Structure 1
């Protein structure tokens, strides 16, 4: 033979084309005629003598009636290998109609073809035709499934987690997969052990030893989760069992509707982001849409991780125009193409500019007159800003001041500033620069409230920690190190960080903006802190390696300005609750604008002149709780600006 049975089955399973439905119609009609002929032979031998004309009339009638009924109901257009109870039922109705019309033909033609046995004869024909046609379909489905399960060796054998509707639906969706073959379900408890769902057994594993025995016995290659939530629920049990024993973890992301486009659901291996994320945060999308519908919105730092996600979410809220402000050409181009593809009806304008360039920034306000501004432009990497403090001040402080001043000057309704947990008791230049931006924005809002500055802008500041997978963050960095064979570098075995997904952070930013009465700093519930060394170990195992053996973990010491533990000020002692349990208002010291304005003028002057030491010393004088850690600037902690 040219091909083995395995090769033939694999080629058959991988075919994208199916048998032509006209061929199926012809086959159905022939089987229907054959069934009627068998019925006539049975009746002729056991019930009543039939003439040749009776044979001819019934066979001809069966041909024409079957052709018309089957084509009208479209039973031939259902792909047999994917047959369901509904499609089988449809075939049963078609057969019943065939018998009804044939019986009517005999009764109303006044031909005594079956004497007084016409009804019984057509009942027999109905039963025979049903057994033949439906039996034919069921047989094909069973043969197809058997061929896939026994001979299609190129597919990955997986178990589906859970026994709920979405797990069963996932298994059915996998029937047409070229890459995966589902062999059973895994339940989280014993309640359905030894049962079967959708013709597949349900398994339960009480411990890792039991799991390992099963995997080896049945050659299981992967465990498929129907959603991220189920994967997180089992991250310390089944996910870890798989990691320890070379079994892959897969997840089927839910179908996401983005504007007018539909993102295709794709089965993929579980990433660390899936395990670190939390239950989806629910926000009031109706009120959110009402707050932004018809507004002109400007986003600074639009091409960055946070800014681009803000743009995606704003695009779904019915805004009249979106202005993308950023100085990064290539990321801006990529964002433009994405928005054009996913939101063809969105009016948006890419605007290349730098928040440090006063006149260019002014032009954006003059041209578009934004009603809402999201200020996400910032330098964010702690070690880099520790080495370049003047640039941190120019972007994070001076740039934020320019944006806030223009918001007041051009009558912007609301400005939302994206801040960071590193602004809390800052130990580095980056955190201190963001705290300075917070102070200026809040003092400007306070001055407007007291009538010292004319304006109507409502200022909102939001603080959160690290976002998963953002540009230059620890997860992409670790992933790259693992791909290169290690070592994975961790600063300190004790270091912890808070993590939040980018979409989650942006949803909370917009909800905080909606609920704000102005001049407030909102902090988000960041969940539990994650030890970075544990994160590194888990990423190594997810990649299929053993930490310490295949991929080494190397501790390199804290970098300049880095903390062991981040703070977000989210406890009850120093925050005020809001209507959303995930969002609280920080109690922070307020500053009079007149008292600090001189310092911002001086900071801008010193930063532009690249007076590094004087710049950092002035930052410490304004931000009283700025205490450098593991940095050359610790020497200024006890000094005052001269």
Structure 2
């Protein structure tokens, strides 16, 4: 097997280039018969000519760095650099002729011939190395057991991917696959195969004996869902995707083979990936001290990973779960060895612990992601939901004001919109307190400079406790996969998308705003389960069954649309809008939250939930014992 990571030393390449260039200068004299025609004493001129050639070649090649790239991968740009370096050398030789060569019959034709011979020798040498390497490489690859595949599409991204995988030791590209009509028959010396339905794809599979189809990016996957993706799964062909650059680990971590992976359910959201401009948001976080509460959780840990790449001055992770904190610390230390990282085990319910963190580290920006989020569990433990989600948020917000924090970004949920469960209402109460505090600062009734921003989004694919890990576990066990109701739907986004939007909201805010995210169309959980079973290589109901378990405590069939244009205002980002919500008076919000805290501490559940419904009148329980407390 060829060792792609082993290259000839750059100094050796440079020495060979200089040697060939100097030899070309000598050869130019020999070809013209100049040595026998020049006057006596011209030997000194020839020696001077060779010396100028040697020095100018060394200068030009080092200046233009013709030796800096691997010779075996030489391309047109590398040849252009050689050409440019030899032009510099020719210029020096012409100057030598002008100042010294007048005493001889040496003319500029020698310099021209020198240039032509030098170009020919060096390009032939590099070309020979490329051809030799490719020949050896092809023989080596022919002896390997590789996955035969087709690349979907005939666009530029597909063509680039074929060139990228040409030397792959794991994949063998047989050609391109396209659905429908196309006039293109070959692309990058590979055939283009056209199919119109599953039958033609099956025939092509038998003819070529390939086992996978590779998509160039996520948009291609989303565009092909409903036709070719379904055909692939029905025929037992593996759908693969080229890994986006944002998913790749840093250079100091192991990288996947040629950045290709199996298609995941996250690739099939039915909408284009939400993107932000990192160049725009980086100045907001660069060289700043940032605190992330709940930094060991799904959202918090991904926030830490993304913030670590933005050149923050110090990153403080605060969480009460020691194992996740330990894991994220190990990841960040490995990825960003120069990051000033502090990990603190603590609880947002403990004011004294929070005070220690703020006093000791003086953060400038706070991302508040600490929360209890499991709906049925909080329905059974409502007092803990209030103490963590509502009072914990109050504690963090109060410390932000006390220590003059620039911005606090609170991570909320779509379940805070017309809540039907304790968890959703506890997050809405946190929103009310934080927003009323920010409004009081704006009005001057509370002293402070902190800007408060709240972000709402729906279910996050792959987060702890979400349906994706649950379904994966059930599929690995052989089923059944349990869905609560055949008609239940949810809005989804990926963890990286959610964190990007949270950071973008921090960049966009003018203070005291609730941002909601356009998450596209809602997805049926039943369809999600079916697709995950198929992507795992099984057939629904034949290999793995789906069972309906009934709605859980506090669960509703449909989540609210977050980005309704009638209830939101636009921002400069097309996927982020500002929610228009009722403003609350800060003294009343403070009093209500204090009362809730007292009731939660003494576990007066019914009184506490009744007060929650009075503060948030749109909170109407569903599939819960607390329906009895609703005013009909």
Give the TM interval when normalised to the shorter protein. 0.7 to 0.9
Distance 1:612 1:143, change over 3 A: same
SS in 1 for 2:415: helix
The one-character-per-residue Cα deviations of 1:168-205 (angstroms, maximum 9, x if unpaired) are 332233233222111111235533442242x2111121
Match of 1:162 in 2: 153
Q: Which residue of 540, 546, 551 corresponds with 1:547?
A: 540
Q: Does 1:422 align with 2:406?
A: no
**Equivalent residue number for residue 601 of structure 2:** 608
Indicate if the aligned counterparts of 2:144 and 2:169 stay in contact, CA closer than 8 A: no
Cα deviation, 1:293-323, whole Å, max 9, x if unaligned, reads 3332211111111111222222333332221
TM-score when normalising by structure 2: 0.80
Given the alignment, which residue of 203, 206, 224 partners 1:234?
A: 224
Query: What residue in structure 2 maps to residue 392 of structure 1?
Result: 385
The answer to whether structure 1 residue 317 and structure 2 residue 307 are counterparts is no
Q: Which residue of 2 aligns with 1:529?
A: 522
Quote the residue 2:182 is aligned against.
191
Name the structure 2 match of 1:211.
201
Q: Report the secondary structure of 1:560's partner residue.
A: coil
Q: Give 1:30's aligned residue.
A: none
From 502, 506, 517, the counterpart of 2:499: 506
CA distance in 1, matches of 2:598, 2:222: 50
- Structure 1 residue aligned with 2:577, among 584, 587, 599? 584
Corresponding residue of 2:107 = none
Counterpart in 2 of 1:47? none
Tell which deviates more after alignment, 338-347 or 239-248. 338-347
In structure 2, the CA distance between the partners of 1:627 and 1:395, relative to structure 1 (3 Å rule), is: same
SS of 2:166's equivalent in the other structure is helix
1:225 corresponds to 2:218: no
Q: CA deviation at 1:627?
A: 0.8
Which residue in the other structure is 1:178 paired with? 169
Name the SS for the 1:187 alignment partner: strand
CA distance in 2, matches of 1:406, 1:87: 58
Decide which of 299, 323, 328 is 2:321's aligned counterpart: 328
Give the structure 2 partner of residue 45 of structure 1: none
Q: Does 1:308 align with 2:322?
A: no
The 1:89–1:422 alpha-carbon spacing in structure 2 relative to 1, beyond 3 Å, is closer
**Map 1:561-580 → 2, pairs under 5 A:** 561-580=554-573
Partner SS state of residue 593, structure 2: helix
Work out the CA distance in 2 between the residues paired with 1:78 and 1:572. Answer: 53
Q: Distance in 1 between matches of 2:127 and 2:440?
A: 82
Q: Which stretch shifts more, 322-331 or 424-433?
A: 322-331
Shift of 1:133: 9.2
Deviations 1:587-615 (A, max 9, x none): 11121122233321221112112222222
Question: Matched residue pairs, number?
Answer: 588
Instruction: Give the alignment's TM-score, normalised by structure 1.
Output: 0.79
Structure 2 unaligned regions, length at least 5? 17-53, 85-116
User: 1:465 — aligned with what?
Assistant: 458
Residue 361 of structure 2, aligned match among 362, 365, 368: 368
After TM superposition, the structure 1 stretch with the greater mean CA deviation from structure 2, 447-456 or 399-408, is 447-456
User: What is the aligned partner in structure 1 of residue 237 from structure 2?
Assistant: 247
If you compute each CA radius of gyration, which structure gives the higher value, 1 or 2?
Answer: 1
Q: Distance in 1 between matches of 2:75 and 2:243?
A: 25
- CA drift at 1:486: 0.7
Name the CA shift for 1:188/1:145 in 2 (closer, same or farther; >3 Å): farther
Judging changes above 3 Å, is the alpha-carbon distance between structure 1 residues 15 and 454 closer, same or farther for their aligned structure 2 residues? closer
Please, what is the CA RMSD of the aligned residues?
A: 4.6
570-579 or 136-145: bigger deviation = 136-145
Residues 81-90 or 258-267, more deviating: 81-90
SS of match in other structure, 1:204 = strand
2:482 to 474, 479, 489: 489
